[in-house]
Structure 1
Amino acid sequence: MNKTRLKNKIAAAGGKITADLVIKNGKIIDVFNQEILTGDLAIQDGMIVGIGAFEGKVVIDAKNRFVCPGFIDAHVHIESSMVTPTEFAKAVLPHGITTVIADPHEIANVSGAPGIQFMLDDSDHLPLEVKIMLPSCVPATPFENNGARLLADDLKDFYQHDRVLGLAEVMDYPSLQNADDHIMDKILLTDEHNRPIDGHLAGLDTTAINIYRTAGIRTDHECTTAAEALDRVRRGMYVMIREGSAAKNLTALIPAVNPNNARRFLFCTDDKHLDEIVDEGTIDQNVRLAIRAGLSPLLAIQIATLNAAECFGLHQKGAIAPGYKADFILVDDLETMKISEVYVSGKLTAKDGKYVGEPLRANVPGEHLTQTVHIPNILEKDLQIPIGETECANVIGIIPNSIVTKKLEETVQTSEGFFVPSLEQDQLKLAVLERHKNTGNIGLGIVKGFGFTNGAIATTIAHDSHNIVAAGTNDKDLLAAIQAIKELNGGCVVLKDGEILAALSLPIGGLMSDDSFLSIHQELKQINEALVQIGFTGNFNPFLTLSFLTLPVIPELKLTDLGLFDVGTFRHIEVGI
């Protein structure tokens, strides 16, 4: 700490010198006592130095608005927004998000350590503070093929970076349970640096919680019921209440929060598409929904700020108090959380829903990040699914607004012993193609719940290995959609009768665009309009749902490039029964 700056802060705190900035006539939210304070807020050198009576070189009249700490997203994959960290910052800052805890395991599963480095480089010098949790499971499981493999030795140098916090979600529970060396090495490396570790306990019982906690893992963002949340809190975990685009768990989890345990809860989004970020926000939306569900506004704000800061050891974040960074928002109304201005380090960064900070320049990714789609030429015959004489099959059942699926056993239509999609039964063909190393692997399955009446969709966003995943009502459109993704070099496509209705290019790892977030927002609107043209009428995001049908650590039935995967038994199974 610079001695001169410290002396000036102390002098400003004592009223001996005029503070750089003073906020007057604001209702200051005290997250420690859950009270509202009155008084001037003094800021010196980007830090809060006092609450009381102060004079400032610059004075801002809060006009009786609430002064609230900047929100913290406790767990987010920036790549899921489909824009770079630079553009992500412009999108979330107007919503009062001043800090995010990001796990770059999406780009890491495509490009390994260089992908992590790109996310660090592109998030450097942003007004949004991007803290990084290092990916723990690259690949996520041994039941699929991805683009890279990261061992403890590949991660150790990243701990020298001042924005790297710890180890991200440990999702390979079998390896943890068996104390396999590759995950033990990462946990011990993190422990050597005294850093936090995130968990991933989707569908797991209390024995698993015991194992995770014994390994020093403190958080979980995969709870779907209040009972699960309470089981984790009882055993000393922090529970991240997730409200993203594919997984919306907040309403189900809020009943678990009470005055006795509230400090063990955080808010996160995990994965959220850009259109929803722009239109409704991220953690600000979590706060709104929590208030609507009956939580007091001040408690909801505490969960969104102080709780996350203390969980991750961000000692100068999460509160409006002396010694804390001057990251704050001016809120017109606590019930609606209408945010009028956002300040970072005491500087106005967003106003009336728009980024107004200094111009931001994105990093240019190298070719190793922009040439990542490698598949051989395929034919319709490569997409055939053999079905036995019973004409009965294992079918992936979609649960709207959830990344959990159902394992269904249904009668299906066939022709010459092969599955034929059925619009009447809402049974579509699903394909996953390995796209990193040109292996030619194709996993095939049947999915129920999209409700398409024609056409096909495809994308290179397929958690967590990010192979190509496509769903279609017929083989011709399915094949054409896959080919379109290849020509795009990654992205999303909606196709009908062989014609591309809408496409979004995502050249950075097949995950992110190098365009502005406003341009991508418009292109996503075109994607949504195209989905209506192929018959989609659901109340969920079909592309996000599609992207999680490939994640073999989330129950019950998923599809990888190696075939249909039963998460309950942790093994691949046949489609036909």
Structure 2
Amino acid sequence: MSQSRASMDEPHNGPSGNDALSAAERRAFIQIARGKQAAESVFRNCRVVNVFSNEVYEADVAIAYGRVAGIGRPGTYTGVKSIDCGGHYLVPGLIEAHTHVEDALLVPGEFVRALAPHGTTTCISDPHEIANVSGVPGLRWMLAASEHLPLRLMLTLPSCVPASPYESAGASLTASDLAPLAAHPLIASVGEVMNYPGVLEGDQTLLDVIALSQPATVTPRGLAVDGHAPELMGLDLCGYVAAGVQSDHESVSAAEALEKLRLGMWLWVREGSTRNLDELLPIILEHAPERCGFVADDRTPGDLLREGDLDAIIRKAVGKGLDPIQAIRMASLHPAQYFGFTNRGAIAPGYLADLLVVPDLRNFRPRQVYVGGQLIAEDGQALFTAPALPSDWTEAVERTVRLRDFSVERLRLPGQSGTARVIGLIHDQIVTEDRRVEVQSHNGQIISDPERDILKIAVVERYGGGRVGVGLLHGLRLRKGGDGLIRCSRCP
């Protein structure tokens, strides 16, 4: 587990929970907690969900300086402002432990506007997509765009840029490139270590990036190390954990998930555009692991609009038999513990006043969302507008697609009719299969066959090198395209 990230002596109230209390404020905060001074606001008529004791009880919650000052019997506290929760549940704000802003096709400000109504109050995003394109300048742009948002958006240090030595990328990042960013208050962890074969072979570049997590002059607080190792098990998994990787969100089977838990890894159950909840939920129901939580990972705009974020995962998990408080713990307290956030993930004195008012724990849909005690979303709508994008580093993220020698001819696939290797998609999964199917050719070119679900797929290098890779794909179920309209049998 990473080193503790925050205490009452450390910053609290900014995007990552910043702004330390002065000595005078601390003295006042203590008296407010004791009920000797009026709070800034008091949540009344609520049922507090306590993720420490796994219970629900009626209480008043006093807020001051953006934090929870105290919790007491109804009528205990006085406040300048009284917030009537209408008898609903008061729940700690949810923490998204792993996602990618870029995959939602939104800039950070609009991304958090989409998240806020769903109760996500802290979000950790791995910016390896923009880093692959624009390197450190792209990361600095993302950090600048993530500041001063009403929701706490934090980033990771992308560990694998490029993801593997076989990829083309716009940048190549090493530990020396990332070290100046490691102590930034919006950096939460070392991002997902995707190149696990490189880790197992002792690649020094990868090991140096992982070492950025250790408490040192550069990163005095220490950082968690996120993993990415689908289907890795046995002694190779031991080697991966021994390298310092602490979590994984890529487990595709219950046996794999349990083995990772047994080795001390944090298991993130992913249920976003890729879905693993059904397969992994039996492990949670049987073992109730403490080192376990929910993540969305990739969320398309359609997913966010139709389903939501962590709230949707909670609803689904509870509907399949998980205790509602356990589900809330997995989306609040557990990720806070993983990242070493000692100031969020629960409702307790000194914790950030990131709170949700939820009418029904089984049909988990936040009615109101508060960050630092301030209402930011209500009845499914964000109550803030996205701030202007930062002008610093903007050049690094504009006009980054530079094609060379590209034409429709580059999309042709020479070959003859017969058996061919194709990429086999597995519905809702990141892993693929190596399939052999019969294909047809015309004039020496292999052609698509949508009726048999065989399509061509192309990777066009965007950095001016002029490389184009063309192959075959099976399992997408795309039936029609053209004129900007694409129809998929899985799409509504």
For normalisation by structure 1, the TM-score amounts to: 0.78
Matched residues in 2 for 1:17 and 1:358: separation?
A: 34
Paired residue for 2:476, among 450, 453, 458? 450
The aligned residue for residue 20 of structure 1 is: 40
Checking the alignment, whether the CA contact within 8 Å between 2:48 and 2:89 is kept in structure 1 is yes
The aligned residue for residue 231 of structure 1 is: 259
Matched residues in 2 for 1:132 and 1:453: separation?
A: 38
1:524-576 deviation per Cα after TM superposition (whole angstroms, max 9, x unaligned): xxxxxx323xxx22259xxxxxxxxxxxxxxxxxxxxxxxxxxxxxxxxxxxx
The answer to whether 1:254 aligns with 2:274 is no
User: Cα offset for 1:350?
Assistant: 0.5
User: Cα offset for 1:215?
Assistant: 1.2
Q: Which amino acid aligns with 2:478?
A: F
1:100-141 deviation per Cα after TM superposition (whole angstroms, max 9, x unaligned): 111110100000011111111011011111122100000000
Paired residue for 2:489, among 528, 534, 537? 537
The answer to whether 1:313 aligns with 2:336 is no
Paired residue for 1:382, among 386, 410, 413? 410
The aligned residue for residue 400 of structure 2 is: 372
Paired residue for 1:399, among 420, 423, 426? 426
The aligned residue for residue 264 of structure 1 is: 291
The aligned residue for residue 467 of structure 2 is: 441
1:356-405 deviation per Cα after TM superposition (whole angstroms, max 9, x unaligned): 147633324622211111112434432232335x7211011122212222
What is the alpha-carbon root mean square deviation over aligned residues? 1.6
**Aligned-partner SS, 1:115:** helix
User: Cα offset for 1:63?
Assistant: 0.9
Q: 1:108 to 1:357 in 2, by over 3 A?
A: same
Checking the alignment, whether the CA contact within 8 Å between 2:162 and 2:168 is kept in structure 1 is yes
Paired residue for 1:299, among 304, 308, 326? 326
Q: 1:380 to 1:18 in 2, by over 3 A?
A: closer
Paired residue for 2:80, among 36, 42, 57? 57
The aligned residue for residue 277 of structure 1 is: 304
Q: Which amino acid aligns with 2:129?
A: E
Checking the alignment, whether the CA contact within 8 Å between 1:387 and 1:393 is kept in structure 2 is no
The aligned residue for residue 553 of structure 1 is: none
Q: 1:380 to 1:132 in 2, by over 3 A?
A: closer
User: Cα offset for 1:71?
Assistant: 0.5
Matched residues in 1 for 2:132 and 2:78: separation?
A: 52
Matched residues in 2 for 1:248 and 1:359: separation?
A: 29
1:301-343 deviation per Cα after TM superposition (whole angstroms, max 9, x unaligned): 0111000000110110100111110000000111111211000
Q: 1:78 to 1:359 in 2, by over 3 A?
A: closer
Q: Which amino acid aligns with 1:19?
A: A
After TM superposition, the structure 1 = structure 2 runs for residues 5-404 of structure 1, keeping only pairs within 5 Å, are: 5-52=25-72, 53-191=76-214, 192=216, 193=219, 194-245=222-273, 247-258=274-285, 260-357=287-384, 360-364=387-391, 366-387=394-415, 391-404=418-431
User: Cα offset for 1:261?
Assistant: 4.0
User: Cα offset for 1:454?
Assistant: 3.6
User: Cα offset for 1:160?
Assistant: 2.4
User: Cα offset for 1:259?
Assistant: 6.8
Checking the alignment, whether the CA contact within 8 Å between 1:9 and 1:49 is kept in structure 2 is yes
**Aligned-partner SS, 1:288:** helix
Q: Which amino acid aligns with 1:34?
A: N
Q: Which amino acid aligns with 1:450?
A: L
1:493-536 deviation per Cα after TM superposition (whole angstroms, max 9, x unaligned): xxx1xx3x3xxxxxxxxxxxxxxxxxxxxxxxxxxxx323xxx2
Matched residues in 2 for 1:433 and 1:310: separation?
A: 41
The aligned residue for residue 481 of structure 1 is: none
User: Number of matched residues?
Assistant: 463
Q: 1:322 to 1:358 in 2, by over 3 A?
A: farther
Q: Which amino acid aligns with 2:54?
A: Q
Overall identity of the aligned pairs, in %: 38
Which segments of structure 1 move beyond 6 Å, counting only runs of 4 or more? none
Q: 1:47 to 1:430 in 2, by over 3 A?
A: same
**Aligned-partner SS, 2:470:** strand
**Aligned-partner SS, 1:25:** strand
Checking the alignment, whether the CA contact within 8 Å between 1:92 and 1:278 is kept in structure 2 is no
**Aligned-partner SS, 1:239:** strand
Q: Which amino acid aligns with 2:476?
A: F
Q: Which amino acid aligns with 1:44?
A: A
**Aligned-partner SS, 1:91:** helix
Checking the alignment, whether the CA contact within 8 Å between 1:329 and 1:342 is kept in structure 2 is yes
**Aligned-partner SS, 1:257:** helix
Matched residues in 2 for 1:362 and 1:229: separation?
A: 40
Checking the alignment, whether the CA contact within 8 Å between 2:480 and 2:486 is kept in structure 1 is no
Matched residues in 2 for 1:175 and 1:162: separation?
A: 29
**Aligned-partner SS, 1:50:** strand
Q: 1:300 to 1:162 in 2, by over 3 A?
A: same
Checking the alignment, whether the CA contact within 8 Å between 2:113 and 2:385 is kept in structure 1 is no
User: Cα offset for 1:278?
Assistant: 2.4
The aligned residue for residue 10 of structure 2 is: none
Matched residues in 1 for 2:405 and 2:201: separation?
A: 40
Q: 1:352 to 1:188 in 2, by over 3 A?
A: same
Paired residue for 1:3, among 9, 23, 29? 23
Matched residues in 1 for 2:289 and 2:203: separation?
A: 34
